[in-house]
Amino acid sequence: MKYVDEFRDRELGRVLAAQIVATVEPGRHYKVMEVCGGHTHTIYKYGIDDLLPENVELVHGPGCPVCVIPMGRVDDAIAIAKRPDVVFTCFGDMLRVPGGDETLLDAKAQGADVRMVYSPLDALRIARENPEREVVFLAIGFETTAPSTALTLVRAKRERLANFSVMCNHVLILPPLRALPESPDLRLDGFIGPGHVCTVIGARPFEFVPADYGKPVVISGFEPLDVLQSVHMVLRQVADGRAEVENQYTRVVPYDGNIAALRVMSEVFELRPHFEWRGLGFISQSGLRLSGAYADFDAELRYAVPGVRVADPKACQCGEVLKGVIKPWECKVFGTACTPERPIGTCMVSSEGACAAYYNYGRFARERVVV
Amino acid sequence: MTDARDTVSQASGVNAPICDPAGEHCITCSDEGVPMRVVAVHDDGTAICEGGIEVMVDLVAPVDRGDEVLVHAGTAIARVA
């Protein structure tokens, strides 16, 4: 397949791995954070970390929107889903995310009309076809997904679809990223930037990382060679004593992003004063809600939701995993009490969660090493 | 009409949706994006891509048959060039 096969070429991968070895100083330890869960998935799936020298460590970042949803928000979603008049629609992964007591899948098993969709447009279609029912879409995701929700709401408003609403959980990638370079637990040498978020916001907003913290950022694609090349570009900057924003993913990412997407987002959404991130706490101006012009479609205004904060389970260390402070396998419940089939923490739910990615691709290799 | 997504859905069931951790990237997650080729363009801001998948193309308009776009959650967010 064009744009895919050529970025999975084995020989080119070996060449890049050799270039990385030639770039690093022996004896120096390098820590590079991949911000986005999509990269975490690629790294484990293709064994990228096995191709890197031992002194190059990849640290997983907070870029998985399922993983950062706090349990209280899941409970709010379940409260809406259980209303008899509601058809509750969401992406597949959200069905299995644990709330305080149960998941959306549990609510479905008890009779709630919860349906999995692949796009908010599917939810809109359900609303058109079921005018007697209230259709709610659980919107979640970073700047990559927010335009899709925004375009759907523009269509709903144009059609005056009164039985459609959105529970908005969209979050922004830059606010948590601002906290990371200052973390005393992490001494990062550079960042792999989230390629698809950047198709929307562009590479330019990441310029504060080299400007304020002196760390390189390379915006990366998601095929294995993309990630390898981006690691090399970060290490090359470190070796040269440079810190700048570079764009490895030029086949998709314009430096200034997608202006039409940013325009529709600014029309449909506004910043929340603060939003709670699982494991990271409240981060100001890090989440989106519907703007005044779209308030009629806001499920949180349409329905009473509990809005209760629920503390994370004590055994769960998703917060430390999300901040890159510990590796998935260092969590006390990893692979025992917490598995993808029965997750305790959100990082074990999504395929882009570091724990699930590691559980599915990495644990056997590690067991071999340990034994 | 059976499209690629129906096949995935039928094969996996609701407990193991398309975003099964052993599968490709999860659609819920922010950075899943799939390059697709446009096969038909409608006049309401949508287009049909290979596999019969309906995609909103407002953000990359205008598109023509044969264009490659990057699709995320039912929306083309970029052109692939």
The per-residue pLDDT for A364 is 58
**Alpha-carbon span A86 to A213, nearest angstrom:** 48
Per-residue pLDDT of chain A (371 residues; tens, 9 = 90+): 666 777 888 889 999 999 999 999 999 999 999 988 888 888 988 889 889 999 999 988 887 788 888 889 999 999 999 999 999 999 888 888 888 889 999 999 999 999 999 889 999 999 999 999 999 999 999 999 999 999 999 999 999 999 999 999 999 999 988 877 666 667 889 999 999 999 999 999 999 999 999 999 999 999 999 999 999 999 999 999 999 999 999 999 999 999 999 999 999 999 999 999 887 788 899 999 999 999 999 999 999 888 888 887 888 888 888 878 888 888 989 988 888 888 888 888 877 788 888 888 766 555 544 43
Q: What are phi and psi of A104, to 5 degrees?
A: -65, -30
**Contact residues on chain B for A174, CB-CB shorter than 8 A:** none
Q: Do A41 and B73 touch (CB under 8 A)?
A: no
Interface mutation target, options A1, A5, A144, A153, chain B, most CBs of B under 10 Å: A144
| Residue A84 vs residues A80, A91, A132, A164: alpha-carbon distances, Å | 9, 20, 12, 15
Which residue in A has a C-alpha nearest to residue B33's C-alpha? A196
Quick one: tokens of B72? 């995320």
Work out the average pLDDT over B48-77: 93
What does the pLDDT read at residue B14? 31
Contact A92 B28 (CB under 8 A): yes
Inter-chain CB proximity A350 and B21 less than 8 Å: yes
Asked whether this complex has an ipTM greater than 0.95, the answer is no
Predicted local distance difference test score (pLDDT) of residue B30: 42
Contact B34, B68 (CB under 8 A): no
Name the strand (E) or helix (H) holding A365: helix A363-370
Cβ neighbours for A179, distance < 8 A, ≥ 6 positions apart: A280, A283
| Cα–Cα dist A191/A206, whole Å | 10
Of A260, A262, A232, A261, whose CA–CA distance to A246 is shortest? A232
Q: Which residues of A touch B77 (CB under 8 A)?
A: 144, 147-148, 196, 199-200, 258, 261
Say if B22 is an interface residue toward chain A (CB within 8 Å). yes
Closest by Cα among A328, A339, A319, A311 to A96: A339
pLDDT digits (tens, 9 = 90+) for A278-292: 877 888 999 999 999
Listed residue (A279, A271, A265) closest to A69, CA to CA? A279
* Structure confidence by residue, pLDDT tens digits, A230-268: 999 999 999 999 999 999 999 999 999 999 999 999 999
Residue with tokens 């198709």: A199
Out of B31, B33, B46, name the one closest to residue A63 (CB). Answer: B31
* Smallest CA–CA distance from A265 into chain B, residue: B59
Cβ–Cβ under 8 Å, residues A279 and A318: yes
Calculate the CA dihedral of residues A70, A75, A78, A82 and round it to 10 degrees. Answer: -170
Q: Do B58 and A151 touch (CB under 8 A)?
A: yes
CA angle A246, B60, A39 (to 5 degrees): 40
